[in-house]
Structure 1
């Protein structure tokens, strides 16, 4: 397998991992006001392919086991006798920061993919001459 192919595989694995991360961040943001919702997180795992090439793979989705917010709303159908119910443990500031980090990582992988493609194309042009 050529170095160009390996480079494209590495950047593609990064693109897929960050896309999945963004999907879970968007689910967290969409469910920030859902009672009892727990924030989803996804770890990344490095896997070695031959010739020292390291790929990134998303791991299993886990639920944040942090405490759920106690929300006071006696009119809510899920409220207990004290007027409280369990909200979500999603912090929108953290989700926005995670989304920005994932977006920047996605853009970096996309730039690497594009530069590899351009170098491959330039090499083919040189070989045709």
Structure 2
């Protein structure tokens, strides 16, 4: 008796034992409607030992700010599934969403120095 293995619609996923749609419980879109492919994410410190390998691979890519599109490209995953998996990780507290430009700079001296330098130009 032969067992067919779902290949994820492309050769990069051939041999997978668990289809990606099972990892996201059949969801086809993220619950967080503000997520898009340009959304920047970063991994938060958390125990990843209970996560599926596919989720841990995403977190390994997120040591610094990275877009959802970049994650999908690096891991050769469909972008729709990548976006849903990022949403799941965010819901579970493994990822922070935003962008590096949204980080607050608390160093007023640095900002004043930059402003002074620009005014001299």
Q: TM-score, normalised by structure 1?
A: 0.23
Q: Which has the higher strand share?
A: 1
Larger Rg, first or second structure (1 or 2): 1
The TM-score with structure 2 as length reference comes to 0.24
* Larger helix share, 1 or 2: 1
**Structure of higher RCO (CA pairs closer than 8 Å, 6+ residues apart):** 1
